[in-house]
Amino acid sequence: YNIFCMNANTVKIAPSLLSADFGRLKEEISQIENAGADLLHLDVMDGHFVPNLTFGMPVIQAIKKYSKLPLDVHLMVTNPDFYIDHLANIGVDYISFHVETEYHINRLLNKIKEKNIKSGIVLNPATNWNQIEYVADIMDFILLMTVNPGFGGQSFILNCLEKIRIISKYKTIRKLNFEIEVDGGVTDQNASNLINAGADILVAGSYIFNSNNYAQQIRSLKLCSQNCLTD
Ligand code: DX5
Ligand code: ZN
């Protein structure tokens, strides 16, 4: 018979604000909150690490005033360390930085954790996960890019599925409990596979915000966790 996988019914949905209407940010945030989002994913881009600019500390500070959702800050910047104190003062809940941007991974993870913020490392699609094996017991979560970072609305890179499986297996063998978050091209077409592979948190930007019924889109992703089976 069917054995449901560990993440069935518990997957968290983190809408990415990048695809929202920035001219109506306050309304968009309250709509997404009422639609059943678990986290609010915030993409900070600096035009150096990625070929795009988004928003920074003042905007996140403003968002914090209008949202009760846990804030999940994804730093796509060349100097992630510069922003940790400010983000801690704002009161964000998750911070992740790219392994490709930081020499002192262990130190930065600990700096974030000391502020009682969940600390995570992001891997680009081409980055081997072995690079962070020796901090796997320190980090609270790993954010796996399933598109090349910089833009919303790109298509999911299929090879990344195998990476999720490998990390998930490692996690089980070593009895670690960091969460696995997946970001890029997530839709109801691939969500079951992602959850099955071990994803705990799904980020979705265009899939949610390019529709006119946010609640329905979030529900459709959560529903994918009910069809999720173990191998
Ligand atoms: C891309 C960002 C993503 C992006 C996802 O660099 O990290 O969070 O908003 O957008 P979709 O879900 O449209 O691929
Ligand atoms: Zn992101």
The predicted-structure confidence for 75-103, as pLDDT tens digits, reads as follows 999 999 999 999 999 999 999 999 999 99
* pTM reported for the whole predicted model: 0.95
| SS3 of residue 95 by DSSP | strand
Instruction: Quote the CA–CA distance of 175 and 178 in Å, as a whole number.
Output: 10
| SS3 of residue 85 by DSSP | helix
Q: Stretch 51-58: mean pLDDT, rounded?
A: 98
* CA-nearest residue, atom 10 of ligand 1: 152
What integer pLDDT is reported at residue 6 of this predicted model?
59
What integer pLDDT is reported at residue 7 of this predicted model?
62
pLDDT for residue 143 is more than 80: yes
* CA-nearest residue, atom 4 of ligand 1: 152
2-30 tens-digit pLDDT: 455 556 568 999 999 999 999 999 999 99
- Centroid of ligand 2 to alpha carbon of 19 (angstroms): 11
Average pLDDT, the chain: 95
pLDDT for residue 228 is more than 80: no
Express as a percent the part of the chain with pLDDT over 70: 94
What integer pLDDT is reported at residue 207 of this predicted model?
98
Q: Verify whether ligand 1 is closer than 6 Å to residue 15 (CB atom).
A: no
Q: Which two tokens stand for residue 183?
A: 């970001």
What integer pLDDT is reported at residue 226 of this predicted model?
80
Task: Rounding to the nearest 10 degrees, give the CA dihedral for residues 1, 173, 186, 154.
Answer: -140
Q: Stretch 48-60: mean pLDDT, rounded?
A: 98
What integer pLDDT is reported at residue 2 of this predicted model?
47
Burial 193-225 (b: 16+ CB within 10 A, else e): bbbbbbbbbbbbbbbbbeeeebeebbebbbebb
Number of Cβ atoms within 10 Å of the Cβ of 38: 16
What integer pLDDT is reported at residue 62 of this predicted model?
97
What integer pLDDT is reported at residue 224 of this predicted model?
92
What integer pLDDT is reported at residue 225 of this predicted model?
86
pLDDT for residue 132 is more than 60: yes
Beta strands, E only, 46-176 = 71-76, 94-98, 118-123, 141-145
Q: Verify whether ligand 1 is closer than 6 Å to residue 204 (CB atom).
A: yes
